[in-house]
Amino acid sequence: MKRLLPTLRADQTSESLISVINTIQIAAKEISFRLHQGALAGVLGSTLDENIQGETQKKLDVVANQLLKTLLLESPNVHAIASEEEDSIVVSPNSGHYLVAFDPLDGSSNIDINGSVGTIFSILRKPEGEDTGESMFLQPGKAQVAAGYIVYGPATMMILTTGKDVRTFTLDQTVGEFLLTKERAEIPRSTKEFAINMSNQRHWSAPISEYVADLLKGETGPRKKNFNMRWNAAMVSDVHRIITRGGLFTYPWDARNEKKPFKLRLMYEAAPMALLIEKAGGKASDGYQRILDIVPNDIHQRVGVVLGSAAEVDKCLEYHARHSKPF
């Protein structure tokens, strides 16, 4: 089986970009080890701190963030990093050409129950003439030169695109290397599976309420087929299922908190996942526009997300088109 770095070189990926991806895989291996040690390493449970999002941090949130931050800032090819766990960007002492945004440990509420979690990352080129400000990162998702995630489950897997195919690499614990296990991910156009947090149903806008109601009516309803619902409470895990076998994932606008009507972050979650989904043949929208076309106005901006099998995303967007935006 091919190893990660030779596979990238065979694609004629630049050595500087390969170096950044290599740094991420090194951090991922260490995070994977800490996760699989669990209570033996004393890394379970929560801290007493909150991140910039106002969320209580798990111990491994802090560990994973520090690992990625330290290693990336040491890379000669990284100019700055932005993390879901950091208040603002951190500029490297090096003058690299790349910017890296990441969610160090997505789905961390699953850690203490031994559920799947993951790391999501996005790589951008540093704009010419900008060296220190957050505006460097405020680029649309279609400007990403690479994106991916590492899912820490029964196996540790990296799903990666450098703008071409979406490939799957699996960590072989016996040699300590990510090996190519799937050359090209292809998401089926249609599906009978959807993923949504049903506990928020009473807070949804009309489009999502109507869409899900029709799904639940099954073969006796307007969709004329039965759907199954899946929800893993970790975007990485839910998206990985879609990359593997299709489906629809959505975390839409809701009315629980008018100051935070959206859950998922554009730069750390929505944009990198949207690039992977599109490169695998699916679609990704905020309900009203393509996610990869959205220009961030803030490094911690949140957006609605509808992504997955292309035909099912189109069907969901038909419901949105019948209503005005709730925001």
* pLDDT of 44 above 90: no
pTM: 0.94
Strands (E) in the chain, as ranges, are: 46-50, 56-58, 78-83, 90-91, 98-106, 117-125, 146-152, 156-161, 167-172, 177-182, 193-195, 228-229, 248-251, 264-265, 283-285, 302-303, 305-308
DSSP for 79-95, please give it.
EEEEETTSSS-EE-SS-
The answer on whether 83 is annotated among ligand-binding residues is no
- Give the pLDDT confidence score for residue 48 in this predicted structure: 44
Residue 109 labelled as part of a binding site? yes
Question: What pLDDT does residue 150 have?
Answer: 98
Which residues make Cβ contacts (< 8 Å) with residue 68, sequence separation at least 6?
24, 27, 81, 83, 102, 104, 119
Residue 201 has pLDDT above 90, yes or no: yes
Does 106 appear as a known binding residue? yes
User: By percentage, how much of the chain surpasses pLDDT 70?
Assistant: 94
- Could you give the CA distance from residue 232 to residue 261 in angstroms, rounded to a whole number? 21
Contact 151, 157 (CB under 8 A): yes
- Model confidence pLDDT, tens digit, residues 88-121: 999 999 889 999 999 999 998 888 888 899 999 9
CA distance linking residue 323 with residue 55, whole number of Å: 32
Q: pLDDT tens for residues 120-172? A: 999 999 998 877 799 999 999 999 999 999 999 999 999 999 999 999 999 99
107 in a labelled binding site: yes
Q: Residue 49 — very low, low, confident or very high, per pLDDT cuts 50/70/90?
A: low
Q: Of 45-49, 69-73, 90-94, which range is least confident?
A: 45-49
* Cβ pair 42, 60 in contact under 8 A: no
C-beta of residue 283 within 8 angstroms of C-beta of residue 310: yes
Flag whether 108 is marked binding. Answer: yes
> Is 19 annotated for ligand binding?
no
Q: Is 172 annotated as a binding residue?
A: no
Domains of the chain: 4-182 (3.30.540.10), 193-321 (3.40.190.80)
